[in-house]
Amino acid sequence: MSRYISFRDFDWVLLIFVLLICGLGVMEIQSATVHTKFAGAHIKQLYWVLGGVGGMFLVSFINYQVLLDRVHWLYFASIGSLMAVLIFGQKYLGARRWVKMPGGAHFQPSEWVKLILILAVAKYFSDMHHKDLSWSDFIKAGAIVGIPMLMVLAQPDLGTSLTYTPIAIMGLFLGGVRFKHAFIVLLAAALLMPLAWHALKPYQRDRLTSFMDPEADRQGSGYQVNQSLIAVGSGGIWGSTAGSQTHLAFLPVPQTDFIFAAFAEEHGFVGALGVMLLYF
């Protein structure tokens, strides 16, 4: 495919929406952290956005079939990178998730493993499309996702490991799983839930229970969730320029997964709805 045709067929509308979302994110990180110890976090985020956009254009020139043909090597490389985290990774807030790179940058392998798993699962079920899936096929597919999932869980990173589950589910669905097999797998998963719950560390159980019932421990494990809800509610219809929950540090780490709460407080229901519509 020529460079001209590649750019001509590029989804520029999608790119515009992606850049809008990224731009709003960078601006909100700056606003949410300007009066906190995390001030300047938006600069780092901007670098990653620019790097991501550049990487996106580079990858767009790669024929994905070439990646599929070499996905087994990519998969082994991803397993190796996760092993490197467990051995050489830097520990932060009780978790070992990053590898320090030259120049002081930090690399989190569990994120790029998601992309490799999507390719690996797609390749596996594509090769199986000519036959009815057997239980051994299911076990192999489960191992493809399960091995890196357990390695990420050992870091420990419960949140990221759980994001691997939809990859396996979609692979099974698109691969032509039978209803009988799906029912048995779901039943087995339900029966194993008590064991999985017992295997979780106390703080991991607290995260799940606080998500389901943040009111149970308002000053402890549910504090961040409750403060984010207060921030969203205090934004009203048009937003609050004061941003008391965010700027006065009632929302402890607004620049992370809770950046939407900070945005909703400053820009209100209308602004929050506008951002959500950008995803559709």
Are the beta carbons of 65 and 122 closer than 8 angstroms? Answer: no
pTM of this prediction exceeds 0.85: no
pLDDT band at 79 (very low <50, low <70, confident <90, very high): very high
Contacts of 86 (CB under 8 A, 6+ apart): 96, 151, 154, 155
When pLDDT is averaged across residues 241-266 and rounded to a whole number, the result is: 67
185 has a pLDDT exceeding 70? yes
Task: Give me the amino acid identity at 2.
Answer: S
pLDDT band at 3 (very low <50, low <70, confident <90, very high): very low
75 has a pLDDT exceeding 90? yes
What span, in angstroms and rounded, lies between the C-alpha atoms of 66 and 35? 48
46 pairs with which residues across the strands?
none
Among 59-73, 81-95, 213-227, whose mean pLDDT is lowest? 213-227
pLDDT band at 50 (very low <50, low <70, confident <90, very high): very high
Among 27-36, 38-47, 50-59, 92-101, whose mean pLDDT is lowest? 92-101
Q: What's residue 1's pLDDT?
A: 45
What distances in angstroms separate CA 206 from CA 209, 210, 214, 219, 224, one per listed residue? 5, 6, 10, 13, 12
In this predicted model, which residue has the larger pLDDT, 98 or 216? 98
- Residue for token pair 């000519």: 130
What span, in angstroms and rounded, lies between the C-alpha atoms of 251 and 261? 9
What distances in angstroms separate CA 122 from CA 66, 119, 144, 191, one per listed residue? 13, 5, 11, 28
What span, in angstroms and rounded, lies between the C-alpha atoms of 85 and 96? 7
Q: What's residue 2's pLDDT?
A: 46
Among 3-7, 13-17, 135-139, 272-276, whose mean pLDDT is lowest? 3-7
245 has a pLDDT exceeding 60? no
pLDDT band at 154 (very low <50, low <70, confident <90, very high): confident
Among 82-86, 151-155, 156-160, 244-248, whose mean pLDDT is lowest? 244-248
Contacts of 275 (CB under 8 A, 6+ apart): 21, 24, 260, 263
